[in-house]
């Protein structure tokens, strides 16, 4: 079915609908002569590709969920990958498209162990059951970066993230105890670079990829029991089929408040931030009875605090308690939490979110929104 026929079919379906809908696209680049539009941009984010009125989903959609026992690793990997992409492919010039060149079965093979039946596995054969080789490569995700060209979108760049485990959990017997092998940072880096070289070569050969720049980014997975995901530590921008060199990335994620007595590996800045957060926490806990928990994920970039996600878990509150508490938290956040970084604070019970307080990057105002009901 060529593009023209597709468009006519889509138009007919809309006319057949009993609802009076405007034409399917209303993005910034909508026009009656195109199959593609975009989701619209704003705030330094990418526009996404809409094809014939539908969002263009990944060829490997859903595989990422099964790749991670710890969903923090999944979210931080995906968000971090977009941040790395922004260093190379500016949202002002490029349009984001979910990965179209690596499909689910390809990635499943790559993420498996290398065996006779799976020669493309990036992980080593298991070896001895009593002392198995680790699964090093845990997740892979592709992002495509596009430019409009006449009536279509042309691939102009690609980013591929590779997540490498920092520990490996295994059993010597099915019903036996669990063992954990720590994987050193040096080994994480080495395994990542080995995998990156193979991935780059394979992706470059895919039909339609051509000589676009391919960015490969390496991510160190957090342990399965971590309350925060891992971090990207290096990326490479490549015009050929071999890795052209690595740029280091200095991200670090921590959970606050730190257990007392923990030695800080992020230096004194982190101690100051931990104190600020502890003050904030004490302030709101003294204000309100029955707060179950106040915790934060903090991200550091080059040793400086880069953002926080705070979760306040409440016991049941009435609607007026939630309203008063939200007002109070917004004021406490402004007073006690570090300036100049994006922060969000989720106020939630066990069963549902009750309110959100947040400050965007570049803003000095905390906004509040209470989730009420009629």
Residues in 48-77 that interact with a copy of itself by CB under 8 A: 48, 50, 53-55, 57-58, 61-62, 64-65, 71-72, 75-76
Least spacing, CB of residue 113 vs a copy of itself, in Å = 25
Give 34 or 132: the residue with its C-beta nearer to a copy of itself.
34
Residue of 72, 68, 91, 70 whose CA lies nearest to 80: 72
Residues in region 208-247 near a copy of itself by CB under 8 A: 228-229
Find tokens 């705030």 and name the residue: 43
Least spacing, CB of residue 373 vs a copy of itself, in Å = 4
Concatenating the DSSP letter of every residue in 103-160 gives: -HHHHHHHHSB--SS-TT-SBPP---TTSPPP--EEEEEEEEEEEEETTEEEEEEEEE
- 14: how many CB neighbours lie within 10 A of its CB? 15
- 374: how many CB neighbours lie within 10 A of its CB? 2
Near a copy of itself by CB under 8 A: residue from 36, 89, 94, 96 = 96
94 binds a copy of itself (CB under 8 A): no
User: Phi and psi of 291, rounded to 5°?
Assistant: -80, 125
Residue of 28, 29, 34, 43 whose CA lies nearest to 11: 34
Give 183 or 322: the residue with its C-beta nearer to a copy of itself.
322
Near a copy of itself by CB under 8 A: residue from 24, 88, 194, 212 = 24
358 binds a copy of itself (CB under 8 A): yes
Least spacing, CB of residue 328 vs a copy of itself, in Å = 5
Q: Could you give the angle at which helices 319-336 and 268-287 cross, rounded to 10 degrees?
A: 150
Among the listed ranges 172-180, 193-201, 212-220, 317-325, the one in contact with a copy of itself (CB under 8 A) is 317-325
130 binds a copy of itself (CB under 8 A): no
Measured between alpha carbons, how far is 116 from 197 in angstroms, rounded to an integer?
21
Near a copy of itself by CB under 8 A: residue from 5, 20, 186, 259 = 20
Give 139 or 191: the residue with its C-beta nearer to a copy of itself.
139
Among the listed ranges 18-26, 104-112, 170-178, 236-244, the one in contact with a copy of itself (CB under 8 A) is 18-26
β-strands 343-348, 367-370 pairing: unpaired
Measured between alpha carbons, how far is 248 from 325 in angstroms, rounded to an integer?
42
Least spacing, CB of residue 245 vs a copy of itself, in Å = 27
By CB under 8 A, how many residues form the interface with a copy of itself? Answer: 78
Among the listed ranges 102-110, 186-194, 212-220, 297-305, the one in contact with a copy of itself (CB under 8 A) is 297-305
Give 125 or 371: the residue with its C-beta nearer to a copy of itself.
371
Sorted by sequence, the CB contacts under 8 Å of residue 108 that are 6+ apart come out as: 63
b/e sequence 86-112, b meaning 16+ C-beta within 10 Å: eebbebeebbbbbbbbbeeebbeebbb
Least spacing, CB of residue 226 vs a copy of itself, in Å = 11
Least spacing, CB of residue 356 vs a copy of itself, in Å = 6
Near a copy of itself by CB under 8 A: residue from 304, 327, 338, 349 = 327
Residues 266-285: x where in contact with a copy of itself by CB under 8 A, - otherwise, as a string: ---------x--xx--xx--
β-strands 214-220, 231-238 pairing: antiparallel
Near a copy of itself by CB under 8 A: residue from 35, 98, 187, 224 = 98
349 binds a copy of itself (CB under 8 A): no
Give 132 or 163: the residue with its C-beta nearer to a copy of itself.
163
Measured between alpha carbons, how far is 229 from 69 in angstroms, rounded to an integer?
11
């Amino acid at each position: 079915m060529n593009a023209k026929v597709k468009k006519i079919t889509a138009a007919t379906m809309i006319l057949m609908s009993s609802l009076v809908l405007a034409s399917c696209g209303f993005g910034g680049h909508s026009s009656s002569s195109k199959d593609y539009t975009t989701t619209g941009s704003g705030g330094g984010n990418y526009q996404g590709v809409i094809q014939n009125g539908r969002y263009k989903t990944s060829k490997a959609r859903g595989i990422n969920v099964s790749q991670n026992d710890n969903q923090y690793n999944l979210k931080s990997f995906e968000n971090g990958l977009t941040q790395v992409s922004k260093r190379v492919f500016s949202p002002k010039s490029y349009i984001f498209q979910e990965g179209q060149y690596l499909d689910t079965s390809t990635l499943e093979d790559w993420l498996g162990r290398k065996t006779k039946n799976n020669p493309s596995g990036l992980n080593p054969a298991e070896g001895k059951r009593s002392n198995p080789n680790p699964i090093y490569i845990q997740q892979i995700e592709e992002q495509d970066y596009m430019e409009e060209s006449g009536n279509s979108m042309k691939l102009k760049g690609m980013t591929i993230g590779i997540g490498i485990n920092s520990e490996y959990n295994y059993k010597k017997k099915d019903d036996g105890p669990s063992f954990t092998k720590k994987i050193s940072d040096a080994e994480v880096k080495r395994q990542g670079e080995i995998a990156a070289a193979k991935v780059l070569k394979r992706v470059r050969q895919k039909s339609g990829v051509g000589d676009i720049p391919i960015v490969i980014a390496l991510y160190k997975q957090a342990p399965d029991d971590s309350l925060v995901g891992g971090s990207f530590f290096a990326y490479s921008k490549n015009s050929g089929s071999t890795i052209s060199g690595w740029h280091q990335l200095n991200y670090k994620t921590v959970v606050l408040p730190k257990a007392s007595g923990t030695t800080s590996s992020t230096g004194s800045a982190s101690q100051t931030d931990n104190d600020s957060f502890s003050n904030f926490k004490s302030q709101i806990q003294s204000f309100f009875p029955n707060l179950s928990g106040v915790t934060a994920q903090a991200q550091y970039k080059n040793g400086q605090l880069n953002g926080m996600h705070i979760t306040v878990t409440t016991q049941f509150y009435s609607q007026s308690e939630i309203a008063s508490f939200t007002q109070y938290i917004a004021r406490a956040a402004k007073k006690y939490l570090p300036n100049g970084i994006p922060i969000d604070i989720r106020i939630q019970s066990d069963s549902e979110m009750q309110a959100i307080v947040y400050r965007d990057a570049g803003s000095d105002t905390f906004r509040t929104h209470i989730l009420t009901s009629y």
